[in-house]
Amino acid sequence: MIYESILTSLSHEGKPHIAPFGVRERDGLVLIAPFKPSLTLENLLATGHAVLNFTDDVRVFAGSLTGHGTWPLRKASKVNGYVLESALAHQELELVDVRDNPQRPELYFQVRHIETHAPFRGFNRAQAAVIELAVLVSRLHMLPIEKIDDEIRYLQIAIEKTAGEREQQAWQWLIDKVENHKAEINGENQA
């Protein structure tokens, strides 16, 4: 099972970086598997620490992929890292094992600290739709544009029926990114 989270990491110089990551549990440890190259990967190897933030503010997923928004952070309690202010809960992690791989190394973490900040308010289909489109947008250059258009047509239904303002904003940022990508492809084809 994979949980979609916002991972905060710190560079060697102490600069925070946030990125959406799917995480798994394996033998009591948390497994994070970044594709190379990745700033998150560099940071995790440099500091040995990570914070996993569980949030229902899907603008953070869409915004961190599309360069929109600034997401307030505060110092973590037990590890060298930062917590997303909008997290409903977070886990502070310490790197305990690395299995290197040319494409996608596996990083195993021990959970050092857990905090809950706000209750889970139930499932929302528009939030799930934003996460789905965010995953596609993070792989935009690897996917055929027809597949992305098909998925958007289907996911749009949940947005129209169940989105609030945050979900609409997040959705629009992702749609804009897809439209820009299409315009680039058309430009290349005409050149």
Which amino acid is located at 41 in the chain? L
The token pair that represents 147 in the structure block: 């597949």
Judged by DSSP in three states, 178 sits in: helix
Among 3, 12, 39, 179, indicate the residue that binds ligand FMN (CB under 6 A).
39
Residue nearer to ligand FMN on the CB measure, 74 or 104: 104
Residues 6+ apart with CB under 8 A from 183: none
Determine, following the binding rule CB under 6 A, whether residue 138 of this chain makes contact with ligand FMN: yes
Task: Give residue for tokens 């315009």.
Answer: 183
Residue nearer to ligand FMN on the CB measure, 45 or 135: 135
Binding segment toward ligand FMN, per CB under 6 A, in 17-25, 93-101, 116-124, 151-159:
17-25
Among 29, 38, 77, 80, indicate the residue that binds ligand FMN (CB under 6 A).
38
Judged by DSSP in three states, 77 sits in: coil
Determine, following the binding rule CB under 6 A, whether residue 81 of this chain makes contact with ligand FMN: no
Residue nearer to ligand FMN on the CB measure, 61 or 109: 61
Residues 6+ apart with CB under 8 A from 10: 16, 17, 43, 46, 47, 49, 80, 81, 82
Task: Give residue for tokens 């029926």.
Answer: 161
Among 3, 35, 120, 154, indicate the residue that binds ligand FMN (CB under 6 A).
35
Determine, following the binding rule CB under 6 A, whether residue 175 of this chain makes contact with ligand FMN: no
The rounded Cα 153 to chain-centroid distance in angstroms is 22
User: Which residues bind to ligand FMN, rule: CB under 6 A?
Assistant: 4, 19-22, 33-35, 38-40, 61, 131, 134-135, 138
